[in-house]
Amino acid sequence: MAEIAVSPRIIFAGSSAIRARAYKKLLSTSTEQNTGPLDSRPSGRARKLWIDQSNCLVTRSRDVALQLFRTKSPDLLIAEAAAPERQMKRTLGPVALTAIGIGAIIGAGIFSLTGTAAAGQTFASRLETPVINFIQAWMSGTGVVFGRAGAGPAIAASFVVAGIACAFAAFCYAELASMIPVSGSAYTYSYATLGEIVAWIIGWDLILEYAVGNMAVAVSWSGYFVQLCDSLFHLKFPLWLVNDHQTATDLLAKGGAVLEAYSSTALPIIAGHSIAFNLPALLIVAAVTVLLVYGIRESAHTNTTIVIIKTAVVVFVIAFGAFMVNPTNWHPFTPNGFAGLMSGAAIVFFAFIGFDAVSTTAEETRNPQRDMPIGIMASLIICTVLYVLMSAVLTGIKKYTIYTGDAAPVATAFASKPWAQALVSAGALAGTTSVLLVFQLGQPRIFMAMARDGLLPQYFAKIHPRFRTPHVTTIWTGVVVAAVAMVTNIGDLADLTNIGTLFAFILVCIGVNVLRRVDPERARPFRVPFVPIFPILGVLLCLTLMLSLPVMTWIRFVVWLGIGLLIYFLYSVRHSKIRRGVDVGPTEDIPPPLIKT
């Protein structure tokens, strides 16, 4: 006897024609199966039959290896999100989406990366050296270079190159977001194109971009907050209250002028152990979490306000600095040639990461087919223009070599202005606040999408009955991020955010080509031009940038993916709804009935 799993909503609850065709095909197949044995195996061990709900066809289940790559049709994903108990408030328009993109892209990096990319980098060991340096040494037969050449004044052109590279991935995100307007971002797109195990890998990988990234952002926010309080109000905090224990002890061991920034340097002793924790990091994550639980409209309005503030700071720096530019500082424009320009592009590319967070809000967008591409592309274009202008001003005010090893090039450029430090701190504080808010917005929605599919416990798929937000995943994400940021400084792991994001970009670019091939007739409100060339270029450029990351980052990335696969095979593979023939039922907890044939 064969068991056939049938969902009460085959594709769309209101589509009787589709439902009728599905059941007709099911009946004819069942009748045919009754004329002969299902297969050569004994009775009771017959294979199950599964409904392919994208084409209303019945197909045999495959071997376990093939089951890992089962996909969910875009129609099914959209229908599942449309279930009443899953719906969230659709309040976002193109302006709010663009602000979310800008909020995620422009962080403190605009105030720090420019100097590094212009002057170049040196590395202390092989593990800190980019993989591409070893590849270049192998191909050229020369020694490994423990550093990267700076772009010099050509850093403005490096930002343009990085923006173009990012645009290939942005085009792909825009097409899939308009086709499949479902929360989950790259996870959902991979499930629709590449299969379940790839979707799990990318969902697990996105934790690096959002949750792990936000742990570092929260610590950075605390640092800028302490600086701003000191610059504006001469307010200082105890060392133990604004640093984790390891950072506090390192600062005490270093001593010197750095300790003058604190009101006291003594660490309290409890039960024979000194204590220190980062209270500002805890409080900002808690505040953002409460806001996100309360509602998407309020969160979007807050983010838009913060984006206006930090954009105003950037525009002010550009406008004011334009009058301080000395054109002779732009010569030579490319001191290290084309190699330096591309090296600078590899460094500053990471200042563009974040536009993909827009796609996690698809279910809360009024008209996602139109507005998602606008939000993604507009935020990328605006940020590229601001980056180019900022870098041109900084390298025009002072010679680019001044910024070697400088983590605060804006403050250095405006060193003669007493308000520079306060302005930079205020801009960076606003920048990190919006990044924190948007990434805390994105991560819970990815967890929610994974829980809907059974890859995480159903508990995480819950929507708040009043606020219509994924409150469970939002709260748990906030708890974990705040707890880690309060007691640990994971700044050394920040590159994991970059490699995780680039890996997601690669899979999204591949997904566009796959879906164009397997479902060419599907309506696409936004289409990537020159397919398959643009997606392939996106894959190649993102892979090149991944190779520009340190060896240690690659080692940590492989270990992280290994942990994720272990969890998948221990839990998710046994609870996956699509593998159990349960795609969607009347509610999250009620599976569809089984029809015996």
pLDDT single digits (tens) 514-537:
999 999 998 999 999 999 999 999
pLDDT at 55 over 50: no
Check residue 361 and report its DSSP letter.
G
The whole-angstrom separation of Cα 132 and Cα 339 is 13
Structure tokens of 417? 């202005």
Structure tokens of 349? 């590319």
CB atoms under 10 Å from CB of 583, counted, come to 26
For residue 596, pLDDT over 70 is answered with no
Sign of CA dihedral 160, 161, 164, 166: negative
> Where is 283: in which H helix or E strand?
helix 279-294
Check: CB of residue 48 under 8 Å from CB of residue 581.
yes
Q: 10 Å Cβ neighbour count for 91?
A: 18
**More confident of the two residues 14 and 237:** 237
Q: Where would I find the H helices in 35-72?
A: 64-67
Q: What is the pLDDT of residue 491?
A: 63
pLDDT of residue 101: 95
Q: At 116, is the pLDDT very low, low, confident or very high (cuts 50, 70, 90)?
A: confident
Residue 27 pLDDT exceeds 80: no
Structure tokens at 77: 């994903």
259 and 253 in contact (C-beta within 8 Å)?
no
Of the listed ranges 58-72, 83-97, 106-120, the least confidently predicted one is 58-72
The amino acid occupying position 240 is W
Residue 474, pLDDT above cutoff 90:
yes
Q: Is 184 left (phi over 0), alpha (psi -120 to 50) or beta?
A: left
Q: pLDDT band for position 133 (50/70/90)?
A: confident
Least confident segment among 63-72, 120-129, 144-153 = 63-72
Residue 69 predicted with pLDDT over 60: yes
pLDDT at 581 over 80: no
**228 has a pLDDT exceeding 90:** no
Compute CA distances 114 → 152, 373, 402, whole Å: 10, 28, 12
Q: Mapping DSSP to helix (H, G, I), strand (E, B) and coil, where does residue 102 land?
A: helix
pLDDT tens for 492-511 read 666 788 888 889 999 999 99
What is the pLDDT of the chain when averaged over all its residues?
83
What confidence tier does 381 reach under pLDDT thresholds 50, 70, 90?
very high
CB atoms within 10 A of CB 367: 15
Which residue has better confidence, 140 or 99? 99
Instruction: Provide the residue ranges of all domains of the chain, joining segments of one domain with +.
Output: 3-70+583-596, 78-242+278-575
Residue 243 has pLDDT above 60, yes or no: yes
Q: Smallest Cα–Cα separation from 247: which of 228, 223, 264?
A: 223
For residue 550, pLDDT beyond 70: yes
Instruction: Retrieve residue 512's tokens.
Output: 């566009």
Q: Is the pLDDT of residue 305 over 70?
A: yes
* Residues 72 and 190 sit within 8 Å (Cβ to Cβ): no
Least-confidence region, from 257-261, 464-468, 481-485, 526-530? 257-261
Which tens digits make up the pLDDT trace of 246-301? Answer: 999 988 998 888 888 899 999 999 988 999 999 999 999 999 999 999 999 999 99
Integer Cα distance of 30 and 37 in angstroms: 12
| pLDDT tens sequence across 312-367 | 989 988 998 999 999 999 999 999 888 888 888 888 887 888 889 999 999 999 99
Query: For position 592, what pLDDT does the model report?
Result: 39
Query: How many CB atoms neighbour CB 178 within 10 A?
Result: 24
The answer for residues whose C-beta is within 8 angstroms of residue 74's C-beta and 6 or more apart is 54, 179, 180, 192, 515, 519, 522
Q: What is the pLDDT of residue 123?
A: 81
Q: What share of the chain is helix, strand, coil (3-state, %, to 5)?
A: 65, 5, 30
Please tell me the predicted confidence (pLDDT) of residue 492.
63
- What is the percentage of the chain residues whose pLDDT exceeds 70? 84
How many H helices and E strands in the chain? 22, 8
pLDDT of 53 over the 80 cut: no
User: φ, ψ for residue 122 (rounded to 5)?
Assistant: -125, 150
Mean pLDDT to the nearest integer, 121-139: 86
Q: What is the pLDDT of residue 594?
A: 39
How far is the C-alpha of 501 from the C-alpha of 509, rounded, in Å? 12
**pLDDT score at 287:** 96
Q: How far apart are alpha carbons 40 and 314 in whole angstroms?
A: 71
Q: What is the pTM of this model?
A: 0.82
How many other CB atoms are found less than 10 A from the CB of residue 226?
Answer: 21
Q: Is the pLDDT of residue 18 over 60?
A: no
pLDDT of residue 583: 56
Identify the pLDDT of residue 591.
39
pLDDT at 43: 44
Whether the per-residue pLDDT at 32 is higher than 60: the answer is: no
Residues linked to residue 51 through DSSP beta bridges, in sequence order: 58
Higher-confidence position of 53 and 189: 189
Q: Computed over its alpha carbons, how large is the radius of gyration of the chain?
A: 26
Instruction: Please determine, for residue 64, whether its predicted confidence score (pLDDT) is greater than 60.
Output: no
Given a contact cutoff of 8 angstroms between Cβ atoms, the answer to whether 291 and 473 are in contact is: no
- pLDDT at position 108, please? 67
CA pair distance 472, 117, nearest whole angstrom: 40
Pick one of 1.20.1740.10, 3.30.360.10, 3.40.50.300, 3.40.50.10860 as the CATH number of 78-242+278-575: 1.20.1740.10
User: Over 90: is that where the pLDDT of 549 sits?
Assistant: no
Looking at per-residue pLDDT, the higher value among 218 and 33 belongs to 218
Q: pLDDT for 77-87, tens place per residue?
A: 888 888 887 88
> Average pLDDT for residues 559-569, to the nearest whole number?
95
